[in-house]
Amino acid sequence: MTPSLPAAFLTVPLAHRALHDVEDGRPENSRAAIRAAIAAGYGIEIDLQLSKDGCAMVFHDYDLDRLAEGSGLVRDRTREELRAIPLKGGDGEGIPDFAEVLELVGGKVPLLVEIKDQVWSRRPDGTGCGRLEAAAAQCLEGYSGDVAVMSFNPDAVAEFAKHRSDLALGLVTGAFKPKNWPELTPEERKHLRKIADFDRVAASFISHGAHNLGNPAVARLKEAGVPVLCWTIKSLAQEEAARAIADNVTFEQYLSPLTS
């Protein structure tokens, strides 16, 4: 039986890349942003990238340049090297690994984990699906808090399920516009817009782009009772509009109401 998405993911707004605000010393996916989200009572959404030595690191981009005091690919650095690279706008803290973040969250709030795709980026040194999913699953052994795992790439979800089919798994979905997804073929983008892999990967929820919530595929799943989360909401007005369809929001740049 497909595991259900824990109820907390439908009642507590999710802070996108944790409760980040670089002007207040809280970079994306940082320990400071995670602590702030926990203190405020929000759920947390984080991203995982793969280190050179096969560790799951909590970081959004494939490259270091935008978010950290470094350059080049995340996957070209080891766990210890990444932990030593300061995040921009922080207090000097380095990039956290997934195991440390799980200990920090400790089940206090729901944790939504996005596995960043290791295939579609078309990097010449890409490793494909498998290593990051296995590393993430290993870190989650023994974790008892509310957690769900998702990815834009259905194959990454299926790969993770080989290790932890007991957890709620989801697909990150959206409009898949050519300008945002040039690495995919028109046929691949069309297929993904239809959310055609939902049953194949035994998903239990989707997290859909807020500007595309009118997608008929979203309506089809919602009518079937599938939980619909959405990303990324940036104002209260956007949240009010999104909640006409979505069951919960992933937000940033404002504080979502804690009751809905």
In the three-class reduction of DSSP (H, G, I as helix; E, B as strand; rest coil), residue 205 is classed as strand
Q: At what angle do helices 131-139 and 154-161 cross, to 10 degrees?
A: 50
| 4 alpha carbon, distance to own chain's centre | 18
pLDDT value at 125 more than 60? no
pLDDT value at 126 more than 90? no
Confidence (pTM): 0.96
Distance between CA 174 and CA 218 in Å, rounded?
A: 9
Interval 143-194: pLDDT, tens: 999 999 999 999 999 999 999 999 999 999 999 999 999 888 899 999 999 9
The pLDDT of residue 1 is 86
Interval 36-93: pLDDT, tens: 999 999 999 999 999 999 999 999 999 999 999 999 999 999 999 999 999 999 999 9
